[in-house]
Amino acid sequence: MALDVGDKKMSKRPESDAFVFFGATGDLAYKKIFPTLQSMIRRGKLDVPIIGVAKAGFTLAQLKARARASLEEHGGVDEAAYAKLEKLLRYVDGDYNERATFEELRRQLGGAAHPIHYLAIPPSLFPVVIGHLGGSGCAKDARVIVEKPFGRDRASAKSLNETIHTVFDESDVFRIDHYLGKETVQNLVVFRFANTFLEPIWNRSYVESVQITMAESFGVQGRGHFYEETGAIRDVVQNHLLQVVGLLAMEPPATTYREAIRDELVKVFRQIRPLQSKNVVRGQFDGYKEEDGVSVTSNVETYAAMRLEIDSWRWDGVPFFIRAGKCLPVTRTEVVVALKRPPLMKLAPGKGNYLRLGLNPHLNIALGAQIKRPGEAMVGEATELSLLHHDEADEMSAYERLLGDAMQGDPALFARQDAVEAAWAVVDPILDESTPAHSYERGSWGPVEADRLVEDVGGFAEPKERQ
């Protein structure tokens, strides 16, 4: 378990003894799953049958070749680990709509009694695959990993959950949001609650505002059709960035039971006021409509900025701002917590104190402070004190951590259904795309219309590049 909060007791069944991944020839498997499996093997964390399932007309030899190509392109081949991966790898080629595919999967599982099934496939295929897993006996004493998105809105999320529960108990369902597995994101919890100096000021009495920026310098990268169905709010706001809000705003979790962190996250989501159009600005980068798979009349947002209010004792009156977009100046995700200004303004012109938490592409923690400006005048000037800068070298990847936890039956870093529904409830009112998607230039910080959201806090805090 990556965050050691609560007891060590896992689910009622032992560790999974077979790993099945649907969509074995797909993009997610190529970019993430094969590199993760090799890394797990290299660390001694995986030594069970690995069964890929897809409808691609592949042979096992072709799947092994694709696995090697994946590793060569994404992280490199560890020959010893890859040799073991080849021995563990099996393949079922067949149509997800046909029972014979799942009968073959049952045969390939052999003596495995507690398999785990990873649905790395479009959500539209979930019902048919889950139904066949149940009907073929492959779901008996099994677990299932569900890849986001968890629905398109609150209603569809509830419907998806009902479908999953026709075959799997909630304790065996693992909704994977890889952001929760990132080392830098988990650091939010440790930094907040393991440092005595922070807790006394982490509230409305000292915090003026909180800003979360997820900037990407690239566009949709050939995924225009996907983005047309998703948009920035569904793609990263409802899941990744609301999770960050939850980790920043939650109360200290109890240490006596393993659901403590997930309980606190749900509380935060339920305290966030549902969004209104006046608190949201949507944008679309110039040239998006020319991307393959994109409608020439598209109103889908590639940028979203919003102002959130949390109705809790700790955060009443403190605005939380989220900003996410493509084709922005940098690729960087960070949090800036601005503290209220001191009473003697003459000593501290300009910005007040703030805490900067860099989450991607590297971990950075810095404190904005005032020091005396050289000279006769008793006046301060702003400086930034770097508390930590850490590049992820041989750290465990988010997918490696999460797949390992799921196989052990540890749900702490996975989204729980009540949290999924509560997060959807926040964004549901503004999903109808009735507001315009304002145009913005590639390489800019998004549409100027978003500036009105932060007028009362001095504007957006621009992400800071590595010093």
Under 8 Å CB-to-CB from 64, ≥6 apart: which residues?
86, 89
Tell me how long the chain is. 467
Strand partners, 175: 146, 415
- Going from the C-alpha of 434 to that of each of 305, 307, 448, the distances in angstroms are 15, 18, 19
Which residue of the set 114, 165, 240, 389 is catalytic? Answer: 240
> What token pair was written down for 215?
């900037």
* Residue 114 a catalytic site member: no
Judge contact between 364 and 357, C-beta under 8 A.
yes
Q: Are strands 280-285 and 437-440 parallel, antiparallel or unpaired?
A: parallel
CA Rg, the chain, in Å? 23
Phi, psi of 183 (to 5 degrees): -55, -40
> What token pair was written down for 67?
């696995």
CB atoms within 10 A of CB 387: 13
Signed CA dihedral, 266, 270, 275, 279: sign only: negative
DSSP assignment, residue 275? P
- Considering only CA atoms, which of 215, 237, 148, 227 is closest in space to residue 465? 215
Catalytic residue list: 240
